[in-house]
Amino acid sequence: MKDRRQQILDAATRIVAEGGMSALSVRAVAAAAGIGASTLRYYFPSQRELYDEVVGRSFDDQLSNLRIHDRAIPPAERLLECLLQFLPPSEDQVLHLERWLAFYTSAVGPDRTEQGAALLASFAHRARRRVDAWLAVLQQEDALRHGDRARHGTLLLALIDGLCLELLTPQSPATLESARTALADAIGNTVVLAEN
């Protein structure tokens, strides 16, 4: 029989695929896995552990290191390539950002929930770690303007969040192309050293 922990994670992954991260709850996962909540707690003693694992899987499935280690490509281009994974891949998918916004709303809006806050905390932690890992690669190459990777990461993630909001804003002049350009400008002007 399939490992019970894996069975739980598979059920959680299905829930996220069907309803987004905001649909994830201990009760929903237990029901989808065909187990009781106490059995789920045996494998994942805290809600946070379950959420961290599910968010980690989602990140691993959706975010790749792409060519971040390929020194034949300019550092700014490599970092941009990686960060663009946080934006929709095409204009017709911009409305998928509504799920992202609902995810944030479940954590910080007037109808926020403990579950939403835990999921957002896990998501934000994973995003910071992934961006920091990409920045660490460039730091090893002496390609960053300064060594404060946390500062660079905060700037980049805040810009990405703002761009996502702007793309969702009705009648905004922002396009996916202008968002990509803004991100490229931030990388080239504030994060990565200009090439000689």
Would you kindly state where each structural domain of the chain is located, as residue ranges? Answer: 4-53, 63-191
Closest CA to 4 of 39, 28, 37, 29: 39
**What pLDDT is attached to residue 17?**
84
* C-alpha atoms less than 13 angstroms from C-alpha of 58 in its C-beta half-sphere: 23
pLDDT digit string (tens) for 77-132? 999 999 999 999 999 999 889 988 988 998 998 989 888 898 899 889 999 999 99
- Is the per-residue pLDDT at 49 higher than 50? yes
Closest CA to 115 of 10, 21, 7, 20: 21
pLDDT band for 1, please (50, 70, 90 cuts). Answer: very low
Pair 78, 68: CB distance under 8 Å: yes
pTM score, whole prediction? 0.85
**What pLDDT is attached to residue 196?**
53
CATH code of the domain made up of 4-53: 1.10.10.60
Closest CA to 141 of 191, 185, 86: 191
Helices (DSSP H) in the chain: which residue ranges? 4-19, 26-33, 37-43, 47-62, 75-83, 97-108, 114-140, 149-168, 176-186
Topology, domain 63-191: Tetracycline Repressor; domain 2 (1.10.357)
- Is the per-residue pLDDT at 179 higher than 70? yes
pLDDT digit string (tens) for 124-176? 999 999 999 999 999 999 999 999 999 999 999 999 999 999 999 999 999 99
